Chains A and B, each alone.
Chain A
Amino acid sequence: MKVIKIDKAQWTKGLDALREGYRLYGPVKEKEIACFRELADGQTPDSEIKNTRLSPKSLVFPQSEAMMAYSLDKNDDEQGICKEVPKDYSPRAVLGIRPCDAKAMVLVRMNFDNGDYRDPYWLNLYEATTFVGMACDNPCSTCFCTTAGCGPYHEEGLDLLLSDQGDHYLAKVLSDKGQALAQKAGWTTEADGQPMESGKATAEGKITAAVETDRLRALDTLALHGADFWEDISFSCINCGTCTFVCPTCWCFDIQDEVYGKKGVRMRNWDSCMFPIFTVHTTGHNPRDTKLQRLRQRFMHKLKYFVDKYDKGIMCVGCGRCVQQCPVNIDIRKVSHAMNSLDAENFCAVQGK
């Protein structure tokens, strides 16, 4: 695969050239909080930022997104007709997305783009976007990507992968979209990709945190579901939406109609399996009425149901945001250990241990 060298002196010049054809997004600090935002003219992505507070999933899956609009005015000929809301799907580039967040987009795509269903809102934004990754040479102590099917130089979901080499970047071109972007930016000097290979090995060696997943697929679903550790793990959970909202792979949403006067909007908003109303039926019955059931659902979905359904590993990329931000310190690394080491042979799902 082609590797190009970008002198840092050429970097901002390249970004300026890109602005001719793309809207640029990147990590910046806003009120001390690292987040992805559209970059203003002259603004560059903040290369000091490791993992942003919230993942960049909102770039293709906004927390609140209007889908359709309608009129309720009786005098309006088009009263009651849902019409698509105009959107800007012009080309965009995300600069400095971390490999874990890009891999997460690939996992999320399995939900929004499959044989049964294609979600136009997610896909239109996704396809309009070119993802320029930044390899992680200094991962956080909470990063466990290498055991979550990902890594600090992971390439899935990226069009271009950059590696910081001091006075220059090396950029691996991973797709036609990436090639087109490099061309547009005027980054054309081919270079030897070897430093990226050694950088990858060094970076992977720095990752010390881990999830344990090797036995999950073979373990009996009901045995895991009925395991006695859930009470201990779920005790501290306050059922807020922090873990699901900061997670790059959580994709659940809720559709709402909001009406102002005679105009209405059908929109979707992020939802969270941690919220009691997530599963309330119209009858008032709630099949997941307790926090134990809700917390178990989240971990079983990520570490067991998803594994069984797709055989593509876990629904987690090891970014560590939930570990860092859970207000009561529920840690997926500990949960994966409890699940993965379940003594299933001596466990009866019906009767307990």
Chain B
Amino acid sequence: MTAYTEKIREIAQRLLKECKVEMVIGFRAGTMPMMNEPCFIRKPDQADQLVWDSNCGINLANYLTNRKEGKIGIVAKGCDSRNIVNHILENKIQRDQVVVIGVPCLGMIDKRKITRETEGEILAVTETDGKVSVQTAGGETTFDKADVLQSNCRVCTHRNPVIHDEMAGDPVAEQTDVDPYADVKAIEAMSTEDKWNFFDELLSPCIRCYACRNACPLCYCPTCFVDESKPQWVGKSQDPLDIRTFHFLRAYHCAGRCTDCGACERACPVGINMRVLTKKLNKDCLEQYGWEAGLSLDSRPALDIYNPNDPDEFIK
């Protein structure tokens, strides 16, 4: 996957040199193991800042929202490209404003899982040929990348960019033998009481920093409902009811729009898997409307259109 870096640099440099774009949005190497930093470059000679590896889990579509620059190059893996489609459908950016540098993706690594399974502080992480090597003061541990993928990447069925103007590599095989909704089904099968306990437990570490919301390309409301003060819909304290209200309502706002890119969970400083909420709604959209978000510029999102044969069994 790191071989993409050279190709991305070459494309970015060419686009800037030929004045095809005013800026390119991508990742540069971070200062911490398993962290890269979203960045932009405006000059061809800055192209060597750009990198690509399995630590590019932040969704770059988030940085396109309402951008006024003329043309913007953007590095996009499968899920990012789906969110770019979503942004175009929702008028957050125009198709002719973006030059999509597509990156066929083999999944991002789960920094929390690696940290959990490593003894001592992690000093460096490198990857080669499907292996991830983790260095600590005590030595080196090697993982198969497949075993330390982010949980959304493990069940991803859209690894290749759905729209692109340039490609940083040949398309990769899509995963077909995965059940993306196994976790949701397990929760659906719980008793009401167990569900209460599960969600209480799930959200109890939340500190309301809103990193999940802010890392999400879908959450671009000028004023989020939790920030609204006239009227104030939600309390601001650590009251579990207000915390639940935030997470549940945010998930509903993402219904039919979420691409399960995993940026929310990745950004969370306390490791909450709030994706189970958005995934339930993704599953409903798929089952009821045959809809998956961000796959095509030619169809409107599930909650954006009406069809006479839409399911209506819930109307009593």
Contacts and interface: CB of A to CB of B under 8 A. Distances in A.
Contact of A256 (B31, B121, B235): B235
B222 to A, nearest CB: 9
A325 B268 CA distance: 9
A242 interface: yes
B310 interface: no
A236 B56 CA distance: 13
B209 A141 contact: no
Interface string B269-288: 11100000000000000000
B229 A238 contact: no
Contact of A245 (B207, B227, B237, B266): B207
A20 to B, nearest CB: 31
A240 B215 contact: yes
A333 B30 CA distance: 12
Which residue among B36, B207, B209, B235 has the maximum number of chain A CB atoms within 10 Å of its CB?
B209
B42 to A, nearest CB: 10
Nearest to B216: A238
Contacts of A333: 31
Nearest to B30: A329
A238 B216 CA distance: 9
B32 A256 contact: no
A329 B32 contact: yes
Interface in A247-262: 254, 256, 258
A329 B31 contact: yes
B62 A238 contact: yes
B229 A327 contact: no
Given A258-B237, A329-B32, A238 B271 contact: no
B151 to A, nearest CB: 15
Given A235-B39, A331-B31, 12 more contacts: A240-B215, A241-B209, A242-B211, A242-B267, A245-B209, A258-B237, A269-B237, A276-B227, A277-B227, A323-B31, A330-B37, A333-B31
Contacts of B223: 276-277
Which 3 residue pairs of A and B lie closest in terms of their CB atoms, listed nearest first?
A327-B267, A240-B211, A64-B237
B39 A240 contact: no
Contact of B35 (A32, A50, A64, A329): A329
Contacts of B205: 31, 33
Interface of B: 30-32, 35-40, 58, 62-63, 116, 121, 123, 205, 207-211, 213-215, 223, 227, 229, 235-239, 266-271
A64 B214 contact: no
Contacts of A236: 37-39, 58, 63
B31 A334 contact: yes
A162 B205 CA distance: 30
A318 B6 CA distance: 36
A256 B237 contact: yes
Interface in A221-278: 232, 235-236, 238-242, 245-246, 254, 256, 258, 267, 269, 272, 275-277
Contacts of B38: 235-236, 328
Contacts, number: 105
B46 to A, nearest CB: 10
Interface in A268-310: 269, 272, 275-277, 280
A50 B211 CA distance: 24
A272 B207 CA distance: 12
Contact of A53 (B121, B208, B229, B270): B270
B254 to A, nearest CB: 16
Give the interface residue-count category, chain A: 35 or more
A54 interface: yes
Contacts of A330: 37
A53 B270 CA distance: 8
A10 interface: no
Given A33-B205, A269-B236, A53 B31 contact: no
A117 B30 CA distance: 42
Contacts of A72: none
A77 B118 CA distance: 62
A63 B207 contact: yes
A59 interface: no
Given A64-B237, A329-B37, A32 B31 contact: no
A246 B205 CA distance: 13
B269 A53 contact: yes
Contacts of A258: 235, 237
A63 B239 CA distance: 11
Contacts of A235: 38-40, 63
A32 B115 CA distance: 11
Contacts of A327: 58, 211, 215, 266-269
A175 interface: no
A64 B207 contact: no
A284 B268 CA distance: 30
A44 interface: no
A165 interface: no
A272 B209 CA distance: 9
A136 to B, nearest CB: 12
Contact of B211 (A238, A267, A329): A238
Contacts of B123: 141
Contacts of A140: 121
